[in-house]
Each structure stands twice: as C-alpha cells, then as structure tokens.
Structure 1
C-alpha cells in the first residue's frame, strides 16, 4: 500500500508554516467553498465522508457535529463552542505537534469550517503549555488568519463571525480527556466529568460543545475541497481516508508516515527501514502505551479501527512504538505504569488506588522481591480498574499489563525471586534480518 501525503504533503517546503506557503498549496480554498454552503450541508459532507476522530476513540466526526442542537434561533438559546484538543500527551504519540509546527493554517482552516458547521462563534485551541515552539507558531498563525480576514467579524464577506483563543494548559495527561479539558479551560482543576450529559448537550460553560482532535480538524479542508468520493477512495469501508502514523523506538527511520487507514505494520516498517539492523521485533503498541500491546504475530493485521479490535487492541492515536528483542517487557510496562500512577487525577478510587499498587508490585518484580502471587495480583487489580474507573485513564493503565502478561507470562515468571534477569547488553542479541522487511 502506497503512502498518501495529504496533511504532510508540503512539510518539507521552506517556511511551510506561513500563510503564504499555505495559500500556495490550496490554502483556504475549502473555506471559501464551505461558506457558500449551508451549515447542515457541511455537516452532511463530513458525515458522508466517514471521517473518524483521529484522537483515539475513532468516533465519527460528522455524527458528533450533528449532535449539536441545530435550532439557533429564539430567546434563551445557548451559544455553541468548538474546542480543539491539542493536549497531545499519550506516551509515544507525536503527530499533532509536528502538524501544528509545520502546517498550523491547515488546523485553523479546518477549525473555521467546523465552527461554521455547528454554528459556533467562539473556538478554543487547548495546547500543552510546555511545548513553547508549537504554542508560538500557532499563535502567529492565528494572528495571520485574523489579519487576512479568515477570523474575526464578517469572514470573507459571508456575515459569519468567529473568535479563536489559543489556551496553554499547565501540563496534565488527564486533560487529554475531553471533559477534564473543559474543566481546565473553565479555570478548574482538570478532572473528568460524569456523563451524561455529554459535551454536545452541556460542555464548555454548560453550553453545547464539540471537542475535536487536531488531526481530525486538519483533515476537514481536504474533504470539503476534494469531495466525499475522493476521501473514501483511500482507507477501508469502515475506516476511510488517510492518517498519520507515528513510528518510534527500535526502527531505522522513526518519524511520521502518512498512509491510508488499513496499511499494516509490515508495510510501514518497509518505509521505515525495518527494525534496527541485527535485531528482531518483540512487541509493539498500535496506539500509544494505553492500548494493548501486540507481537510479531500481528504484523499483517490492518492498522484500522476494525483490524485492531479484531485482535483485542485499539488503533488509538496510531503511535506505533517498536520494541526489539533486547527489551524487557516487564521493565517497559513498569515505566508506563509509573506514568499512569503519577498522572492519575485521583478522582475515582479504582484508578487512584489501583495504579499506586500496580507500581509497587512492579517495583517488587524488578528488584527481586516479587512472588508468583504478584503476577496474579497484577491481573486482579487490572480487572478492578478496567471498565470501572471514571474515565479511560484506568483502562489505559490496565491494558498494557494484561496484554503483556498474556503474551509474555514466562518473562514475568523469570522475574520472580531474582529481579530482572534481562540484560540488554548480553550476547543474546541475534544477528537476524529485521522482521517486517
């Protein structure tokens, strides 16, 4: 399957982030087209395209937009809001930040079209405050868009008004969860809300709100400009279109690879130069550390929402972390568990207490104080967390533990009583051809 550069087609151009370069590559043409359409027509176009959210869950974007109450007349009608979730913090995920660095106007154009479609006149981009270069570049691009008449009052003479605020968060993994993000945006501590009501009914400031991922919105201009059939010509029937896959870890050429949904890891590894020379694939994550890990048995499973579900995992953020046979799976999952214990917001007991005790058990296994019963305890605590915590952070903490024990229980048992027996510098490194090439 060939790569399909759409979002990344001119990332290598000089000053790709400027308005001038974006206009040279069809920039804001889709906005002109959208503004002469009825808002409901724009929603229908995105719905018919089958665009699925690129932030993790894969919910259909057009359907999400259609949940917003469409009657915008009469007294007492609440304003509508659009919020961009740019709080990229899933371990291994690095697609939204490069996109905002290289082509911020693509996000802004998609944002304007989406806001017009849901009849919103205020939009917010919630970005991690630590990523200063991306924050500055996005603020500069928003200023350019205002100066050019793409934002503000009477956009392009259409009578449509839109104000955009770039908001820097304080840096919390939990704020990637959409309702915790909304709480943070309102000035409160970022913690997930009880649902229902869902944001489409009662979101930011208690008003109808759509929360979309950066890549989801950046995909909208190409759909509006080129049409539904063009978009559906890529990908699969239930997962159409193109997307960014982040390959990191033990590969020769890590980076962003834009391809149709449904490509396999074996094919992506061919583009990425394979697993690093002299090593073989051991395990990998399809969508960041919160998705159940897979092994070399799954090299040919389609990287789409249905394909990953068929093998008990999730496509997630498409953060493909590649680990070769020199990696101790127990040590790797321990590091992820420590991350989730640190990032738990503490709102619900299963996650708050469960992630703490999971981290303690992993410490015992790593240092030689573990027992056979500890492996069972990891599974029991994971079962207590999974599906029973307030938000998906608990599920994300449990998933790599359960899947790693499923595929590598012998490695866990080897840790019992003696600590980690795995020496990444030992002579067990095998000079074999890279798997997947």
Structure 2
C-alpha cells in the first residue's frame, strides 16, 4: 500500500461513517474482509495464535486483536487506542418545533463543538433507530438519510451589524435546525413519523418508532485539497482518522510474538465515563479474559504498551502565538508526541523515547507538542487507559487545524506516517530500555 491508496481508503471510510455506529460497522466490514473473526462476549472462545478477532460493544465501540505467537504473559500486548465519536448536534427526544411557518428540530450540543462552523451547511441525519415491528418486537436499524434535510441559517449581517466582531451562540435558542417550511395553518409529520416512512421505504417492517439516537452531519464529502492535494479536509477527522490508521496498521501487520490490539471507544468527547467509553470495563475485561488469571494479567501489563492516538493541534499560520514557540507541530511533518506535566496526556519520558524509536525505524519524522504554559490543556483516553489498566501509555496524534470544527484539516502525508510508525510498534518483540551500567 502507498500513500495515495491509503488516503483514498481513508476518504471512503470518513464518508461512510457519519456516526460512531456507522464507523464501527465500517470497521467490522474491513475486518471481515481481512479474515478477522467476530466474537460474542457471552460465548466461549477457542482462540488460535496468529488469528485476528474482534468484538463490538452496543455497536458503538470496537476492540480488535490478533493473538500473538507467544503467551500473553511472556510477550504482552501492543495496543492502539482511539475514539469513534466527534462533537455534533444531537436531536432531542421530543424535537419537533413549528414557528412562523417553519418546521425545526431541537438539538443538544454533543461535546465541545465549534458551533459557528455549523451555520449555512447542508445537513443530513444519521444514527440508530429503535422501532416495533409488525409482531410488536423491538428492533434496531442504522439509518443515514444521505441527502441534505436541514440547514442552520445565519442571521443576516443587516440584522446584526456587529456580527464580524463576534457573535455569542445560545445553544437553546440559536441552534434548532430548519427542517422545512409549511403553509400557514398546516402541520407536517413529526420526526418519528418521518423516520417510520423512511424505514418502511428501506424495507423494514415498522409499526412504531420508539426511540432514536440521531445526529446532524455535514453532507459535504471529504476531499484532498491544496495546490498539490497536500491537505485532507473532512468532518470527524478527530478522531476517525486515528481509528482508520490504527485499523489499517492492525490489518496489515504480520502476526508477531506479541498480541496486537486496537480499541476504538465511544464518548471520549464527553469524558469517556460510559459502558462503551474508555473508562468503561470493556478493554480490561477482555485483557483479563485473555490472560486467564490475576498473576498472568499483571505480567501481561508489565510487558505491554498502549499508543493513545488522538489528533494534535498544528500551528496555525494566522495564529502562531497560540503555540509554545518550541512546540508548534506542522502539517505533513510527521506524527506528534504530546506531553503535559500535569498528566492531561499520559506520555512519559520512557514511552516518548520508545515511540520516537518506532518512528525512526519506520523512517518517518516525529514532532513534539506542549501546550502554552498560560493555556489550559485538553486530554485524551491516554490518562484514563493508564489509570484503568496500569499500562505504559504514550499520547500521539496526527497534527490538524480546526479541531472540533464541522470541517477539519490535516496533512495528506501524516496519516501515512503514523500508519507506518504503528506498524513498527505492533511488530515489536520487546519494549525494554536497557539500564545504565
């Protein structure tokens, strides 16, 4: 595989994954094509060395692994962690509004969305729908309306002459999405009725829509942009970019002595405290099950490492003062090792040195990021995973602009660079640093 083919696969993945559930479905499809075997948590497992496996949790998070040739307590696990969710506008349970001849849907803001970027976009809806079929059985379907069905229009500058000096956005009053227009005195169908009609048109037997988890998304497709197509622009680069990179590294790495694993969690953008988030028990439960007993688990963890892959802030050419003068990562200059003295990132000197070595072995450049000392630092699943598992962690990521915007920008080379570094990581037989003599 070369960079152009890798990026084209990435663009297809991003386009097909408007929600965490769709992202997990796409990853399952790619794993099936690569010969990985689906597991169910409640069943007995007969695992074989060298074979790949995966299991999903509520269809919103996924753990995939290839069992190593050596026992886990002798070789450990090479883990990559990422997250499937992105900031967005989620539809409320009772969303239907009708005001001044306009039908709207009320929304909640999920995560730290950059709200100004959601205005004047062609928006569609995707997510999960739970419904009763003709026999009264509760069923679930994934939907993606694909076509634009909503818009969040800006207020004209003529009605707010101070707009270019900054506008405060009230999530309750300014974000209901326009769904359509109706002649005076008429009422249209409610969202649940429209969802039922859509599912019936798709061949589902639906008697009633009971509930849903839906979000709006921008219908503009991902693209390679720039004079020489050196940039990737897309929604949800944070953090489906890392999910795809980690998945490709797992699929294309050869079976090794150590077990190789990818964990893609939901709910990172809202703190990870859920059954399908990094603070939930799924990954620890799996590792304990693979280890067999407590002593083997402790030995496994002592020889393991997790690469927490979540995008980093590239230096913005129009706002260079927002970065520390020595720590301004650039696009297309390699993956970024993220440091924070207050453990907002879990990187240690040891794990940073190890990851820099993987990059050197892969022949790719590496960069460093530290937030300005007078600014607050974001966080990742890295510190959570380190705390939950007691494993060594390094926080890394592809540099990007516009994090949490409806459309983000990354370098076309950087995803490939991180993929190569992760392939080297997954092939490591040992993760040791020799003591001084």
With structure 2 as the length reference, what TM-score do the two structures score? 0.27
Task: Looking at secondary structure, tell me which structure has more helix per residue.
Answer: 1
Task: Looking at secondary structure, tell me which structure has more strand per residue.
Answer: 2
With structure 1 as the length reference, what TM-score do the two structures score? 0.27
